[in-house]
Structures are given as structure tokens and as C-alpha cells.
Amino acid sequence: MVRFPKSLTPLLMVALMALLLAVLSACASPQSTFDPKSDAADSVLTIYILVTVVASVVGFAVLAAMVWLIIKFRAKPGVPARQIHGNNRLEASWTIAPILVLLIIGIPTMFWIAGTAEEPAADVLEVEAVGHQWWFEFTYPGMGPDGGDLITANELVIPVGRDIRVTLHSDDVLHSFWVPQLVGKTDMIPGRTNVLETFNVYEPGLYYGQCAEFCGSAHALMRFRVNAKTSANFSAWASAHNSGPTAPEPGTAAARGALGFATCSGCHAISGTAAQGRIGPDLSLFGERSTLAAGVLDNTDANLKAWIADVRSFKPIPEGARFMPAFNNDTVTTLDDGQIADIAAYLNSLTAK
Ligand SMILES: [Cu+2]
């Protein structure tokens, strides 16, 4: 083992920390809370910076004072240490200074905490999010066909510049909703309703979210995207979602796939069609989505076919009535590669046109 001279150890530590910091700061992470894109995430970052700066100033001041005292009052040959007891000025100041520091941190923090309970603007968009093992479902009450629900999954589509309030539920076990750049993290608890702090997104884009509470074998593969659109694009998306797909050209792969989708419609719904299953994610406008498998795979034709053939090669999903079977080898319905390709073509044809 290499042994460093003792006197070098602190230097080495500092160098290592600096290196680590440099390496970490080079990561451009789409899940970074240091790059907030909503008012809610912004206030979290502001408090974080305030507390970190104040705590660092206090920490360095205490360290510096300690070093100075140790050096100044160190034992010197022939000089006995000065014995001091009591110093009113010093004691008063080290009582008052921490009180001031706590007030500087505490008062803004309390205001921000109170702000999380503020009533949203009147035009707030209400969304209900349900955690399932291992995917997310989003319901927009009153926005569906005939004033019913609009339901989608794994991609929360919202307009920018408008207050969004998400109510959280779980269908099975504990999950947690977290979009680091926007809002969260808040638990999704079976039998209980949690309400996320209202948030307002600054700019259109795709934001990464994920389950942040261990929820079983595929927990690490339970993600989603927030797709923030301009107000006009959001309305266009909702109406395309509600009006449903146009029937594919007869004789095409998509047309064969639409028929083949009867195998799947017990679990999956496509708005405006006969498929109305609710055991698995809603697949309306699936061709518009950037991901599949709850935000885990890019939505490409190859990934989609491989997913339908054998979900378990991507996610550790148990066998069972509420989980998706592997269709290349299912006990009830086995599909061949051609049938799977047709269904994939159909799903990818589901776009807003
Ligand atoms: Cu989880």
C-alpha cells in the first residue's frame, strides 16, 4: 500500500475534493435541481443557495477563528498560558450572532413554506396522477370527450405559463412523484390523496421525472416525462387526443395492426376506438411519445417490437393478471414477428397528424 506522509494528507484530501467537484460539475444532467424550470423549483434552489452560503460563511469563520486562536495562544517555552474566565462581550456576541443567522435562514424559509400552500390562479390546470407498478397514469378531469376524463400515461402533457396542480394517488404500493427541474418530490400513498405544490413551468420542453420511493422489482425503471407545450399546442394535443385516430388505410400494416390490437385492448385504451382497457397505460397518440416502457426506452420501432415480444427482457416484471405478458411466448396468445410488427406500425401511426 502507498503511504503518504502524514503532513500531506489534508492537501491530498483537498485536491481529491476539488477533482470530484470538477468531475461532477461537468455532468449536464436533465434531472438537475440546479437548473430549475418552474417557479416551485426556483424557490427550492433559492433556499438551498441561501442556506449553503450562510452555513459556509459560518463554517469558515469558525474554522479561521480556531486556527488563529490555536496559533496565537499556543504554548511557548517560559510563557505560562493566560487563564481567562468570563468575558461578557464575547458571550453576548456568540449568543446574538447565531440568533441572527437563524433568523436570516428561518424567516425566508417560513415564507416559502407558507407559499407552497398558496391557492393557485383561477385558471389552474388540475391533473390527477396515479402511481402503478411500474408506470404513471395522468387524468385530466373534465377535459375528455363529452366533459369526461382525458387519460394519458407516462408523459404528463401541460401548458407553460399556467398554474398546474397535481393530485397524487397510488393504485398499489408507495411511489413518489419527482421532476427535479419542476416540482416534487412527494409520496403517492395508497388510500390517501397528496397534493403537489402548485407549479408554473417557464419554457416548453421535455423534463425528466421518476419514481423516488422504492416500489418493487422495477422501481428503478419507473420514469416519466413532463412534456410542457405552448398553450396553443397543448389545446391541439388535447383535442387530437379526444378525437381519436383516423382509421388506417386498408391493406397497410397499420390496418392489420389495428385489428391485431384486439389482443391488447383488454388492458390498453386508445381514445376514440373500441380499446378501453385500463389495466395498463393509455396508448392514445402513442406515436407522439418520445419514450415507451414508462420513460425507460426511446420510442423507436425496434424498441417497440422488442418490448411487445418480451417486456421482461427490459424490466423485471412478475407474471400476473395485471402485468403485461411476453407475446413471443404467451400461454394465451402468442404473436409472431409479423403480427408484432403490424401492431407496432399501428401504435406508431397514432399521431396528432
Ligand atoms: Cu418506485
C-alpha 34 – ligand 1 centre gap (Å):
23
Helix residue ranges per DSSP H, the chain: 9-25, 39-72, 88-115, 231-243, 253-260, 301-309, 337-348
C-alpha 187 – ligand 1 centre gap (Å):
10
Q: Full-prediction pTM beyond 0.75?
A: yes
C-alpha 178 – ligand 1 centre gap (Å):
10
pLDDT for the residue numbered 119: 86
Superfamily of domain 253-348: Cupredoxins -  blue copper proteins (2.60.40.420)
pLDDT for the residue numbered 2: 56
C-alpha 220 – ligand 1 centre gap (Å):
7
Whether omega for the bond prior to residue 185 falls within 30 degrees of 0, making it cis, is yes
Quickly tell me which residue has 385530466 as its cell. Answer: 140
Cβ neighbours of residue 197 under 8 Å, at least 6 residues apart?
A: 40, 116, 183, 186
C-alpha 175 – ligand 1 centre gap (Å):
5
Residues 85-113 as b/e (b if ≥16 CB within 10 A, e otherwise) read eeeeeeeeeeeeeeeeeeeebeeeeeeee
Quickly tell me which residue has 399556467 as its cell. Answer: 162
pLDDT for the residue numbered 27: 59
pLDDT for the residue numbered 7: 65
C-alpha 176 – ligand 1 centre gap (Å):
6
C-alpha 172 – ligand 1 centre gap (Å):
11
C-alpha 212 – ligand 1 centre gap (Å):
6
* Distance separating alpha carbons of residues 292 and 294, to the nearest angstrom: 5
* Distance separating alpha carbons of residues 130 and 133, to the nearest angstrom: 10
To the nearest 5 percent, what fractions of the chain are helix, strand and coil?
40, 20, 40
C-alpha 229 – ligand 1 centre gap (Å):
27
* Distance separating alpha carbons of residues 177 and 173, to the nearest angstrom: 13
Helix axes 337-348, 301-309, angle to 10 degrees: 130
* Distance separating alpha carbons of residues 284 and 266, to the nearest angstrom: 15
C-alpha 207 – ligand 1 centre gap (Å):
18
> In this predicted model, what pLDDT tens digit does every residue of 48-64 receive, in sequence order?
999 999 999 999 999 99
| Short-list 67, 30, 321, 346, CA closest to 182 | 30
Q: Which residues of the chain have pLDDT under 70?
A: 1-8, 23-28
Domain ranges in the chain? 253-348
* Distance separating alpha carbons of residues 219 and 70, to the nearest angstrom: 52
C-alpha 185 – ligand 1 centre gap (Å):
12
| φ, ψ (nearest 5 deg) of residue 203 | -135, 150
C-alpha 221 – ligand 1 centre gap (Å):
8
pLDDT for the residue numbered 25: 64
> In this predicted model, what pLDDT tens digit does every residue of 182-219 receive, in sequence order?
998 999 999 999 999 999 999 999 999 999 999 999 99
pLDDT for the residue numbered 321: 87
C-alpha 1 – ligand 1 centre gap (Å):
42
pLDDT for the residue numbered 18: 80
All three cell numbers of 83: 487563564
